[in-house]
Amino acid sequence: MIKKAILFFAVSIFLFSCAPKERLVYFQGIDKQAKNETIVDFQPVIQPDDLLLIIVSAPDPEAALPYNLIMFTATDNSTDRANVGGLRFQSYLVDSQGNIDFPVLGTIKLGGLTKSDAIEKLKSELRKYINSPIINLRITNYKISILGEVVRPGSYNIVSERITLPEALSMAGDLTIYGNRKEILIIRDVEGIKIHNYIDITSPEFINSPYYYLDQNDLVYVNPNKTKINSSAVGPNVTVGISAISLLITIIALIAR
């Protein structure tokens, strides 16, 4: 009788400790998808509070000088300036209306434009004053935040201005065993309105989702799975309790011999 009880207890622990593949494995069934699907051409959209580094050059270097505000020549690691060729250039803060104040041009609206569209708009305005202007534009404070069931939650600065959800999760050390892979919340600011969506990374369908690439200032929250939620309800000492019961059954078995 005692041996049967021990066997039943051991089998129960094994069954409850096993997690099905569907809850853990990413990109399930990806081999069944079409292999020649169009890749999304992602470009970040300029938003309020973005810091833009804009450097103007031209065949006549002197003609471009009034459009480049040099702030520092000494070493400085602050996020609102950039070092190009040993010089420090001022970055431009996008205000709540999507505008920046640019030398000579004055107030110009770039908010809501993609990076390439913003460059074309600046070129169009600058052609009134200089020939063949060249624009180098970069978002210097591009970042995302990752919270919840990941190994290293926090805010991350993105240098490339282009990052996918899987890459972001990798930066945070991937999901913990308690992360709900079918319910990852992404909160995004679109023209001052907060929108959100849930992503299931166990399905390859999310690769074609508008949330596959993350926008600057996106918030990613990994929900806990049922195991984590249930364990928090039972209490942190449940593992200790199971170990104590196992030890007690073993002692009874030895005595019964």
Q: 167 and 88 in one domain?
A: no
Inter-residue contact 174 to 165 (CB < 8 Å): no
Going 127 to 50 to 222 to 175, the CA torsion angle's sign is positive
- Which of 139, 158, 187 lies at the terminal end of a domain, its last residue? 139
Please tell me whether residues 131 and 106 are part of one structural domain: yes
Pair 106, 67: CB distance under 8 Å: no
Does 132 share its domain with 150?
A: no
pLDDT tens digits along 222-250: 999 888 877 766 555 555 556 667 666 76
For residue 75, count other CB atoms closer than 10 A to its CB: 8
- In angstroms, the CA 142 to CA 159 distance is 7
Which residues constitute the domain of residue 146?
A: 1-42+142-257
The whole-angstrom separation of Cα 113 and Cα 98 is: 9
Q: Can you give the pLDDT at residue 79?
A: 46
* CATH number of the domain within which 180 lies: 3.10.560.10
Q: How far apart are CA 245 and CA 250, in angstroms?
A: 9
Q: Is pLDDT at 17 greater than 60 in this prediction?
A: no
User: Within this chain, do residues 174 and 215 fall inside the same structural domain, yes or no?
Assistant: yes
Average pLDDT, the chain: 80
Nearest-CA neighbor of 94 among 107, 84, 85, 104?
Answer: 107
Q: Identify whether residues 161 and 113 lie together within a single domain.
A: no
Tell me: do 189 and 226 sit in the same domain.
yes
pTM of model > 0.85: no
Where residue 90 sits, what CATH number does that domain have?
3.30.1950.10
Same structural domain for residues 123 and 68? yes
**3-state SS class at 13:** helix
Q: How many residues does the chain have?
A: 257
- State which of 92, 115, 139 marks the end of a domain: 139
Q: Distance from first CA to last CA of the chain, Å, rounded? A: 12
132 with 233, same domain?
no
- Which of the four pLDDT bands, split at 50, 70 and 90, describes residue 196? very high
Structure-block tokens of residue 124: 């169009």
- pLDDT per residue as tens digits for the range 47-81: 999 999 999 999 999 999 999 988 655 555 544 44
Tokens of 204: 């390859």
80 and 153 belong to one structural domain? no
Judged on CB neighbours under 10 Å (0-12, 13-18, 19+), 90 is: middle
Of 96, 124, 139, the residue that ends a domain is 139
Residue with tokens 């999304």: 40
The C-alpha atoms of residue 184 and residue 219 are separated, in whole angstroms, by 10
State the pLDDT at residue 207.
Answer: 87
Same domain (yes/no): 132, 36: no
Do 113 and 205 have their domain in common?
no
Dist. CA 150–CA 172, nearest whole Å:
6
pLDDT tens per residue, range 204-225: 888 888 899 999 999 999 999 8
Q: Please indicate, yes or no, whether residues 185 and 59 belong to a single structural domain of this protein.
A: no
Token digits of residue 98: 């999507």
Please tell me the predicted confidence (pLDDT) of residue 23: 55
For the chain, the domain total comes to: 2
Tell me if 135 sits within 8 A of 122, measured CB to CB. Answer: yes
